[in-house]
Structure 1
Amino acid sequence: MGGEDSLFTGRPQPEGEITGRTLTYEVTGRIARITFNRPKQGNAITSDTPIELAAAVERADLDPRVHVIVLSGRGKGFCGGYDLSIFAENGFAPPEGAQPTEGTVLDPVVQARNHNPWGTWDPMVDYAMMSRFNRGFASLLYANKPTVAKVHGFAIAGGTDIALYADQIICADDARFGYPPTRTWGIPAAGMWAHRVGDQRAKRLLFTGDSLSGKQAQEWGLAIESAPADQLDERTEDLLQRISQVPINQLIMAKLALNSALLNQGVANSGMISTVFDGISRHTREGYAFQLRAATTGFRDAVRERDEPFGDWKRAQFDKPATES
């Protein structure tokens, strides 16, 4: 922490381990490790996710031991997007137990009422909800320290909103990236696709809802590196260790300088506009139809019916389908 003349000499170390509803946090050496921890649900997003993610990133950003922050997912994938068993199938029904968001714009009951096809939609209550999700995910971009997303398995829909805010993405060759909800019931609220892969490639993906493999993501410049799945941990650790050897001051200044160019591209404006259109997309005729189908037959059937006409159910569009069953 800087030697004998450090400003932090003699001061107690910040708490190094936290377990939340949706993630865990720990510090090992100079690396803060945030891990999504809902493996049975594919690390799907709940109303707790943006709050806990932002708090964990802030904790790492304030910790003088930490040089770099890595975000990953426990289980079969990074993040499968919003938990449609909550947000679509069960009308925003909250998990059991008291919720810290009760009585706020993030209250699932409030949002269920605001998604009633026979009620009156309040667009600003919707925006207040989604902008908070977006703000929590964007903590990865706005943190002073470097952030790395390690993606295995899948980063789909809202999972890409999170991953694309990280400074660097490193992924498994067979990982899957995409935003299928652009076909029905969603627009990427983060608005980061064009900033990460350019206008033409972003439109290619979002006009179709198609997905990329991890290898294709690296070729397109979305990920800085892809690796065979069994080498992802090792390659990620190599990157983290190299970053962590650089003094914090240098890392912060480099990130702020580089982010100045990115922010001048209009990242904040893209996020605001995309968040508005995401809300609208859930309240169109087809958006309500998707929600009602999910509530009637289950979200898996609704998603399957949406995606099967494209011939890519559970497959990255740019992978060769020879092994598809």
Structure 2
Amino acid sequence: MDDLTIEVAGGIARLTLNRPEKHNALSARMISELTEAAALLGADPEVRAVMLTGAGKSFCAGADLGWMRAQIEAGPQERAAEARRIAMMLRALNEMPKPLIGMVQGNAFGGGIGMMSVCDTVVADEAALFGLTETRLGIIPATIGPYVIARMGEGFARRVFMSGNRFGAAKAVELGLISSLHSAAELEAAALAEAAPYLACAPGAVAAAKALTRRLGPVIDDATIDMSIAALIAQWESSEAAEGIAAFFERRPASWVIAP
């Protein structure tokens, strides 16, 4: 794989987003590779738990800029197809029959928050920053939305889902996005400590228990995913999306920005 690395040792797989020069932004290739990795690791009997992390200073900066540029030129059908690829990647990770532990070593924005939300537990660097920044661009956090809401709950999600504000790691804990905070030096040990108990558990029972929690929790089925994709495409078709993304690439304030 080109945009990911996978290492397996002692029953624990380490899945690393490996575009550090791009802050591990989600490219089309990375999306495909993550979907494939979820299937491979989920089916590997030697793997008892998976740690998801990023190379470099950032965990995941969200969508790749090249991908965003392509969406400007694409039509509704092409946009829907790309949105579905992201949705299916998140679904594959969410439904992977192995515990998924997020080891968030740096900042996460947009799609990076979605990646954190499909993890079963998340440990993070206490210095990291987070944000659902899509509305600043005139778009919405749609395909990641079902997983973010499932993780935070509607009430907590309303505090950060629409404002585009960045927030620190302590607030991310308060929102239920992160389980525990650690210094950079202690982070890997903390992630391994989260993974270690699964080495003593029956893997089939772990998979069944994880599937049961998903069935008992908020429903994320085909209809939910279709609805999130439709919401995203509708917003992509708006004049706000065109203006917000143009402003971003032109490094200027969007037309709706009111100076304080």
TM-score (norm 2): 0.90
Is the Cα–Cα contact under 8 Å of residues 187 and 274 in structure 1 kept in the other structure?
A: no
Which of residues 208, 211, 218 is equivalent to 1:256?
Answer: 211
Partner amino acid, structure 1, of 2:186: Q
CA shift digits 1:175-215 (9 cap, x unpaired): 22221112333222122222211112211112211233222
Cα deviation per residue 1:152-188 (whole Å; 9 max; x = unaligned)? 2111011112221122222122222221112333222
1:69 aligns to what SS in structure 2?
A: strand
Measure, in 1, the Cα distance between the counterparts of 2:198 and 2:57.
27
51-60 or 187-196, which moves further after superposition? Answer: 187-196
Which has the higher mean CA deviation after the structures are superposed, 215-224 or 199-208? 215-224
**Residue in structure 1 matching 2:67, options 78, 81, 87:** 87
The aligned counterpart of 1:132 is 85
Quickly say closer, same or farther: Cα 1:82–1:173, change in 2 above 3 A.
same
Unaligned runs of 5+ in 1: 1-19, 93-110, 115-120, 312-325
Q: Does 1:276 align with 2:257?
A: no
Aligned-residue RMSD, C-alpha? 2.3
Aligned ranges 1:82-231 → 2 under 5 Å: 82-84=63-65, 86-88=66-68, 91-92=69-70, 111=71, 113-114=73-74, 121-122=75-76, 124-188=77-141, 189-191=143-145, 192-231=147-186
The DSSP-based 3-state class of the residue aligned with 1:78 is strand
Matches of 2:201 and 2:166, distance apart in 1: 35
Structure 1 residues 307, 79: CA separation in 2 closer, same or farther (over 3 Å shift)? farther
Where 1:128 maps in the other structure, the secondary structure is helix
Distance 1:171 1:309, change over 3 A: farther
Q: Counterpart of 1:48 in 2: which secondary structure?
A: helix
Instruction: Please give the secondary structure, in 2, of the residue aligned with 1:166.
Output: coil
Matched, 1:37 2:37: no
Which runs of 5 or more structure 2 residues have no equivalent in the other structure?
none
Larger Rg: 1
**1:283 Cα shift?**
2.4
Structure 2 SS opposite 1:130: helix
Change (3 A) 1:213 1:244: farther
In structure 2, distance between residues paired with 1:194 and 1:221? 10
Q: Match of 2:233, as an amino acid?
A: G
Candidates 234, 243, 247, aligned match of 1:289: 243
Question: Aligned letter for 2:244?
Answer: F
Structure 1's 257 and 34: CA in aligned 2 closer, same or farther, altered over 3 A? same
Q: State whether residues 190 and 270 of structure 1, in contact with CA within 8 Å, keep that contact through their aligned partners in structure 2.
A: no
Q: Once the two structures are superposed, what CA deviation does each residue of 1:47-70 show, in whole Å capped at 9, x if it has no partner?
A: 112210111121111111110111
Distance 1:81 1:138 in 2: 17
Separation in 2 of the partners of 1:176 and 1:151?
A: 10
1:102 alignment partner in structure 2: none
3-state DSSP class of the match of 1:145? coil
Q: Return the letter of the residue paired with 1:244.
A: L
2:192 is matched with: 237
* Structure 2 contact 28–67 (Cα < 8 Å) conserved: no
State the distance in 2 between where 1:113 and 1:209 align. Answer: 24
Shift of 1:46: 0.6
The alpha carbon displacement at 1:71 in A equals 0.8
Count of aligned residue pairs for this structure pair: 257
Change (3 A) 1:160 1:309: farther
Structure 1 pair 306–222 and aligned structure 2 pair: CA distance change class (3 A): farther
Report the Cα distance in structure 2 between the residues aligned to 1:112 and 1:66, rounded to whole angstroms: 40
